[in-house]
Amino acid sequence: MEDFLSLLNESQRQAVTYNDGPSLVIAGAGSGKTRVLTYKIAGLLQQGYAPSSILALTFTNKAAREMKDRIAGIVGENLANKLWMGTFHSVFYRILRIESDNIGFPSDFTIYDSADSKNLIKTIIKGMKLDEKTYNPNKVHARISQLKNNLVTPQSYMSRNDLHEVDMHARMPLMKDIFTTYTNRCLKAGVMDFDDLLLYTNILFRDHPGVLVKYQNYFKFILVDEYQDTNFAQHLIIKKLADRHHKVCVVGDDAQSIYSFRGANIENILRFQEVYPECKLFKLEQNYRSTQNIVRAANSLIDKNKEQIKKNVFSENSEGNIVKVFSAYSDTEESNIVANAILAMHQSKKYEYKDFAILYRTNAQSRILEEAMRKKGVPYKIYGGLSFYQRKEIKDVLAYFKLSINHADEEAFKRVINYPARGIGETTVSKIAECANMHNVSFWDVISNPLGYNLQVNSGTALKIGNFRMMMEEFTAETESKSAYDMATTIIHRTGILKELYQDKTPENMTRQQNIEELLKSIHEFCETKEEEEGEEMPLLNVFLQEVSLLTDQDNNKNENLDMITMMTVHASKGLEFKNVFIVGMEEELFPSNMSTGSEESIEEERRLFYVAITRAEENCYITYAKSRFRNGSSAYCNPSRFLKDIDPDLLELPDDYKMSHGRVLREALDSQFENFRRQEPTGYNLKIKNTTETTSFKANPPKFNFNLGTRMKPMSSTAATPNPNSISNFSGQDNSNIKVGDFVEHEKFGIGKVTQLEGLEGSTKATIEFRNSGVKKILLKYAKLKVIKG
């Protein structure tokens, strides 16, 4: 304990060592929040708290994993692995499965992601013959999500006139019926959506006091990361669980609350002290990330927000440069300015490409930036867009997994019933749907007993349905005895997915093949780590599914070390840091978004978003805006963002032409601007632009290569390696084809061993290896990370 306390500053140390009751840790940007959390947990473990008595909740799997790793580094893997540490959703998914009997769900209920939820809502709206424009499925989904986040069930909705009035006002008087039907359909299908995981946890604790007491006693200490992003459902779960021991520590920064549109309630952190009057407040105010001028600029901005917890964030780093603003005539020019600036700074040898990030408000802005980077030869990676697990081919395979585990899963059923095409078309599916809804049973129930439910199909179709059913039943039977990886390969072979994908060589198909390969690889890795870490003999498919259903792309950070600039939305940048940050598109209607200019609260949230963007920068922060921009097909004129006026003019270097359009409005800004000119030192990079012709003045050397240096994190159509169309075996990157019986090999995890047997076909050879310390293992060569050593 003592040894790591010396690594903390005074306020960090106080926050870490106080464990007598509830505490609120306000952690300013870059103030070492994760450090406090990890040391606190490590300290609790060293004090003798059992790891299983500590509940630590995060918002991303990545955050949980990183924290667990750091704790493992202090107290060892054994203890760290036993912590209840994970996302809200994964932890309570686990608990809900254990307690499923109490809430009327099967123990292996599956998860609908937001796309599944929206699909179901859409079919319900269609089924009710409602107009899809007034009952916009996206809006309905958002509303239902909002209701659930506030713990409104269809039952309690009825007794709430205020809620109904809101929906009447939105011209959706039948919201209640859609909500009810949606809830019933999910129940019937044995599925929960993301919001349900929190809602049903609350229902479980509300209706089963014995269960609540069990977990209250179990969790002696509760920690919550990013508390400013919790919603009401999450707040209440924490409150209930902490009700016995009161040892709850929440960490967060109200100034970085940017997810209210998803139900996060900033009040949770603002009013935490009212909920727990005996609460201790700790403020982490020293920023270790950014220069003083960046911290000051950010402070001056966030100061304009009314609702916030007072804090004095400061930096003792060097003073650094002030924030520089550049204007461009168009979005194209803006992109070129940024690309040229990056090239210039890179060529000065002071920075690598990975020291740069371009942050924007909307994903749509990435395209034009991407183009500029490609033209100038700046290597880049883009985060965002479709996540791996949302890809069609991945969802298709996962749907087979889900349906094998849970026959009732309606969305999974609809997804795979005719994929690959087996002649069960739209009409047949709607007949099944009709039947199922009429008898209030699942789709699977209908095809299990077509005669009993009077399903009207011709004999040919009936046969096809029967075949599908038999195939699925075989899968289900096999999931009991085969490992997740074996099941996965079985399924993609026997369903014909593989054949389908390897039929033609369109570029889209090639990336699909690669994605399926990637999925298989990850399942294999999953099985390996489960075997090693948890000693599970055979990790089953349902175990994999439980984990993968709550996984997102944020967890794939394998490209982290490549020397490329990063492009992402400001939202996606939260928690990250870069030496140089470019915030682009700083215009009215875009940042703040025109969707958020309605209320003061949403403007404050946009301002916090801007605050998050600025505080990502360690050394230099640049802001750009364009005077015209292509938006929704046509070019539109834009004005600089109002937020530029919120930053202390002494800490901002505005472009000359800012006064042309804002001279009258911004006298003070301009006055100080002139002062700045006099006392500002040149930075070494001539980034300033005054007019279009001068843009060329910092045009960097032309790119040496003409081909695309940029890579997207998840290419939709990629020019990457071509997999062998006849086998699914050569994408893993491991070439272990030279391994022979008798060789000595070294495995990343199992250590040194001797190959005693090889079996199976080429491409999927299994090797039996006797490891010196890890025993005998059978390993698939194509995935194994093996090194041959001379024996």
Question: Residue 272 has which token pair?
Answer: 């935490």
636 binds DNA (CB under 7 A): no
Min CB(41)–DNA separation in Å:
19
Secondary structure of residue 161 in the 3-state scheme: helix
Min CB(659)–DNA separation in Å:
29
Min CB(59)–DNA separation in Å:
3
Q: In whole angstroms, what is the distance from residue 225 CA to residue 214 CA?
A: 23
Residues 531-570 within binding reach of DNA (CB under 7 A):
550-555, 568-569
Give the residue, chosen from 189, 313, 424, 779, that forms a contact with DNA under the rule CB under 7 A: 424
Give the residue, chosen from 109, 200, 232, 259, that forms a contact with DNA under the rule CB under 7 A: 259
Closest to DNA by CB, 24 vs 745, is: 24
User: ∠ at Cα 639 (638, 644), nearest 5°?
Assistant: 140
Residues 360-379 within binding reach of DNA (CB under 7 A):
361-364, 367
Min CB(496)–DNA separation in Å:
12
Pick the catalytic residue: 226, 333, 334, 396?
A: 226
Closest to DNA by CB, 382 vs 654, is: 382
387 binds DNA (CB under 7 A): yes
574 binds DNA (CB under 7 A): yes
User: ∠ at Cα 69 (66, 73), nearest 5°?
Assistant: 140
Instruction: Find out whether 282 and 25 touch, Cβ atoms under 8 Å.
Output: yes
Q: Which of 649, 654, 648 is nearest to 586 (CA)?
A: 654
94 binds DNA (CB under 7 A): no
Neighbours of 242 (CB within 10 A): 23
Which region among 97-105, 357-365, 485-493, 612-620 touches DNA (by CB under 7 A)? Answer: 357-365
Closest to DNA by CB, 92 vs 326, is: 92
Min CB(60)–DNA separation in Å:
4
Q: In whole angstroms, what is the distance from residue 426 CA to residue 566 CA?
A: 43
Q: Which residues pair with 769 in a beta bridge?
A: 755, 777
Question: Residue 27 has which token pair?
Answer: 């952690």
595 binds DNA (CB under 7 A): yes
Closest to DNA by CB, 110 vs 596, is: 596
Give the residue, chosen from 19, 34, 150, 418, that forms a contact with DNA under the rule CB under 7 A: 418
Secondary structure of residue 523 in the 3-state scheme: helix
Q: Which residues pair with 636 in a beta bridge?
A: 629
596 binds DNA (CB under 7 A): yes
Closest to DNA by CB, 92 vs 205, is: 92
Question: Residue 327 has which token pair?
Answer: 């204007």
Closest to DNA by CB, 25 vs 341, is: 25
Min CB(70)–DNA separation in Å:
18
38 binds DNA (CB under 7 A): no
Residues 699-738 within binding reach of DNA (CB under 7 A):
none
Backbone CA torsion sign across 231, 232, 233, 238 = positive
431 annotated active-site: no
The mark string for 227-246 relative to DNA (x by CB under 7 A, - otherwise) is --x-----------------
Pick the catalytic residue: 181, 256, 479, 673?
A: 256
Min CB(47)–DNA separation in Å:
29
Give the residue, chosen from 35, 40, 68, 89, that forms a contact with DNA under the rule CB under 7 A: 89
Go through 696-732 and write b for each residue having 16 or more CB atoms within 10 A of its CB, e for each that does not.
Answer: eebebeebeeeeebbbbbbeeeeeeeebeeeebbbbb
The mark string for 115-154 relative to DNA (x by CB under 7 A, - otherwise) is -------x---------xx--x------------------
DSSP state of 306: S
Which region among 85-93, 394-402, 406-414, 509-517 touches DNA (by CB under 7 A)? Answer: 85-93
226 annotated active-site: yes
Secondary structure of residue 751 in the 3-state scheme: strand
146 annotated active-site: no
Min CB(569)–DNA separation in Å:
3
615 binds DNA (CB under 7 A): no
Min CB(503)–DNA separation in Å:
11
Residues 468-507 within binding reach of DNA (CB under 7 A):
none
Instruction: Find out whether 244 and 219 touch, Cβ atoms under 8 Å.
Output: no
463 binds DNA (CB under 7 A): no
Closest to DNA by CB, 363 vs 476, is: 363
Give the residue, chosen from 2, 10, 162, 426, that forms a contact with DNA under the rule CB under 7 A: 426
Closest to DNA by CB, 305 vs 596, is: 596
Give the residue, chosen from 314, 329, 453, 630, that forms a contact with DNA under the rule CB under 7 A: 630
Which region among 171-179, 382-390, 691-699, 745-753 touches DNA (by CB under 7 A)? Answer: 382-390
Question: Residue 74 has which token pair?
Answer: 């202090």
Q: In whole angstroms, what is the distance from residue 346 CA to residue 314 CA?
A: 29
Min CB(389)–DNA separation in Å:
9
Verify cis geometry, omega within 30 degrees of 0, for the bond prior to 592. Answer: yes
601 annotated active-site: no
Provide DSSP, 394-461.
HHHHHHHHHHHH-TT-HHHHHHHTTSS--S--HHHHHHHHHHHHHHT--HHHHHHSTTTTT----HHH
Residues in the chain: 791
Q: Which of 330, 424, 377 is nearest to 689 (CA)?
A: 330
Give the residue, chosen from 70, 240, 262, 439, that forms a contact with DNA under the rule CB under 7 A: 262
**Residues with Cβ < 8 Å from 63, sequence gap 6 or more?**
34, 225, 226, 575
Instruction: Find out whether 564 and 380 touch, Cβ atoms under 8 Å.
Output: yes
Residues 171-200 within binding reach of DNA (CB under 7 A):
194-195
The mark string for 209-228 relative to DNA (x by CB under 7 A, - otherwise) is -----------------x--
616 binds DNA (CB under 7 A): no
Backbone angles phi, psi at 785, to 5 degrees: -90, 85
Question: Residue 73 has which token pair?
Answer: 């580094």
Task: State the virtual CA torsion across 656, 662, 667, 668 in degrees, nearest 10.
Answer: -70
Min CB(331)–DNA separation in Å:
11
Secondary structure of residue 252 in the 3-state scheme: strand
Pick the catalytic residue: 143, 381, 616, 627?
A: 616
Give the residue, chosen from 35, 62, 402, 512, that forms a contact with DNA under the rule CB under 7 A: 62
Closest to DNA by CB, 311 vs 361, is: 361
Instruction: Find out whether 358 and 565 touch, Cβ atoms under 8 Å.
Output: yes
435 binds DNA (CB under 7 A): no
Burial class of residue 537 in the structure, from the number of CB atoms within 10 Å of its CB (0-12 exposed, 13-18 middle, 19+ buried): exposed
229 annotated active-site: no
Instruction: Find out whether 636 and 644 touch, Cβ atoms under 8 Å.
Output: no
Verify cis geometry, omega within 30 degrees of 0, for the bond prior to 640. Answer: no
Q: In whole angstroms, what is the distance from residue 386 CA to residue 392 CA?
A: 10
Instruction: Find out whether 36 and 251 touch, Cβ atoms under 8 Å.
Output: yes
256 annotated active-site: yes
Active site residues: 33-34, 225-226, 256, 616
Residues of this chain that bind DNA (CB under 7 A): 59-62, 87, 89-90, 114, 122, 132-133, 136, 194-195, 226, 229, 258-259, 261-262, 264, 361-364, 367, 384, 386-387, 418, 421, 423-428, 550-555, 568-569, 571-572, 574, 593, 595-596, 602, 606, 630, 632-634
